[in-house]
Amino acid sequence: MSLLDVIGPVMVGPSSSHTAGACRLALLARHALARPPREARFDLHGSFAKTAQGHGTDLALVAGVLGFPPDDPRIRSAFAIGAEAGLRTTFATADLGDVHPNSVRITLTADDGATTRLTGSSLGGGIVRVFALDGFHIEFGGGSPTLLVRHRDTPGVIARVARVIADDEINIATLYSARQRRGGEAMMSVEIDRPLSEPASAYLEHLPSVLWLRHLPEVLSATSDGAHVAAATAEAPA
Amino acid sequence: MTLAELAAAKGLASDAVLADQGLDDAERAALLAGMRERLREMRASIDRGLASDAPSRTGMVGWNAKGLWQADDLLQTPLLKRVQAYAMAVNEENARMGRIVAAPTAGSAGTVPGALLGVGDHLGIDDERLVAPLVLAAGIGAIISKTMFIAGSTGGCQAEIGSSAAMAAAAVTELLGGDANASVHAAAMALMNTIGLVCDPVGGYVEVPCVSRNAFFAVHAVSSAQLALAGLTSVIPPDEVVQAMASVGRLLPPELRETGEGGIAATPTGRRIALEMAR
């Protein structure tokens, strides 16, 4: 964990886990959809369900979906701004199973029918962890640029993706991969130390086994003035 | 790095924390620039908080910092008053959904600025000299977070305010000339005397007891620095104190971990307020 995550983030109150963390999870979902959402559904679990309104979790989630970082004063008026932008929102309570008490499942739908379903937890101090995307169990924390690769489960795809990242001289921090079934569709999340170059990204996108590719920026240092301070990787306690 | 390793460092603890990060020159400059920015944000939130009596979202808090700041200092302890007022100013801003710096969390955001800027202003110390102690505060928080999640929902309030008080205690100790050993023991003594504190916010809102608690634990941090600067140390090694806090966190029932279902939150008045707010 970076020292600027301990003394930080600079954020709109009142709770680093329930406000800033919620905003970051929604921001990651927004980047995973990679287009403006028309509908957002939030299934709140545990403490998120119990104390959502008191901590402004609901406002922060909508703000994140609108692309606002955790220190953005517009979080306070996120409902009005969302409604003006034509964003439809639904909040529900859900039991997401044996997960961290501050967890949420975010389902976004765009005008073209594209959807993203992201499930993650806010671990404290604004640190977040995503553990499922579109039904695949993959993990990332938003502390590094992250590649999401939806692909067909064929031999060599993971090696191919890793090779392209290596040729770009980028280090891989974490890599998670999951598939629906043998030979079905699969998903990979790759946290990398800096964003992938344009040509490498274009090459990956055109591989026959790759269905789509998404670039998630590092969100732990995202601020409303666009300034990005030292990148950080969230680490769970040992 | 463990607290024992940090305590054994020659010279300032903040230098040891920085060295342990393994940063190149550019990364080091970015980190220090980030800390300066957070210091400015802390000061801005204190200034706004001391000047405002606007109610929080629930109306339970909002005028405490300004009220104390403007009250007569009957005890004639200006440091005490300043530290308490600064800490509450930050947490009342937080409760109004204003901009604050989580340190390490938003609910405990007033402790470090209350103690560090409070002592700095009391002694007329320039803000630039607070940057290194703030780095140390972050380093202490990072070490604690390797053992336990710093969140009321997993470890109770001790995890949040205990960590912030430990961080602040170390920072104030270094600011006043304490070496690495003194700074780490200040953190350990602050932590040891926070163990067991539960997270029981009324209605689940980060207001009661959170706002006044930051005032109390900013003072707690200054107390701990005072003992450490006089050469007092923790008999139990600092790393073992962190382990003890983590184990107590695991023993706490869910009712006492930020669910708003135990302690002060579960009093008849606490429950009534929660019901009124839900409507």
Residue-wise pLDDT for A66-93, tens only, equals: 999 999 999 999 999 999 999 999 999 9
Top residue of B31, B40, B131, B149 to mutate, by most chain A CBs within 10 Å, is: B149
A1-135: CATH number? 3.30.1330.90
Confidence band, pLDDT 50/70/90 cuts, at residue A238: very low
Q: Domain residues of chain A, as ranges?
A: 1-135, 143-220
- What is d(CA B222, CA B78) in angstroms, rounded to the nearest whole number? 13
ipTM: 0.95
The 10s digit of each residue's pLDDT in A99-147 is 988 999 999 999 999 999 999 999 877 889 999 999 999 999 999 999 9
The DSSP letter of residue B97 is T
Chain B residue with the nearest C-alpha to that of A124: B151
Characterize the bridge pairing of strands A88-93 and A37-45: parallel
Q: Domain residues of chain B, as ranges?
A: 3-278
Q: What is the residue type of B55?
A: P
Residues of A in contact with B103 (CB under 8 A): 6-8
Q: What is the pLDDT of residue A16?
A: 87
Top residue of A6, A127, A194 to mutate, by most chain B CBs within 10 Å, is: A6
The 10s digit of each residue's pLDDT in A181-208 is 999 999 999 999 999 999 999 999 999 9
Q: What is the pLDDT of residue A151?
A: 97
Considering only the beta carbons, identify the residue of B37, B95, B203 that sits closest to A13: B95
- What is d(CA A229, CA B216) in angstroms, rounded to the nearest whole number? 32
Considering only the beta carbons, identify the residue of B56, B103, B206 that sits closest to A7: B103
The 10s digit of each residue's pLDDT in A30-64 is 999 999 999 999 999 988 887 777 788 999 999 99
The burial class, CB within 10 Å (0-12 / 13-18 / 19+), for B146 is middle
Contact B107, B210 (CB under 8 A): yes
For domain A143-220, give the fold: Alpha-Beta Plaits (3.30.70)
Q: What is the pLDDT of residue A155?
A: 94
Q: Provide the 3-class DSSP secondary structure of residue B125.
A: coil
Q: What is the pLDDT of residue B184?
A: 98
Top residue of B258, B261, B271, B275 to mutate, by most chain A CBs within 10 Å, is: B258
pLDDT tens track, chain B, 279 positions = 999 999 999 999 999 999 999 999 999 999 999 999 999 999 999 999 999 999 998 899 999 999 999 999 999 999 999 999 999 999 999 999 999 999 999 999 999 999 999 999 999 999 999 999 999 999 999 999 999 878 787 789 999 999 999 999 999 999 999 999 999 999 999 999 999 999 999 988 899 999 999 999 999 999 999 999 999 999 999 999 999 999 999 999 988 887 778 999 999 999 999 999 877
Contact A77, A85 (CB under 8 A): no
Contact B58, B207 (CB under 8 A): yes
- Residue A236 confidence (pLDDT) above 60: no
CA angle A122-A127-A131, nearest 5°? 55
Considering only the beta carbons, identify the residue of B33, B93, B204 that sits closest to A55: B204
At the top level of CATH, the class of B3-278 is: mainly alpha
Contact B35, A4 (CB under 8 A): yes
Q: Which two tokens stand for residue B105?
A: 């969390």
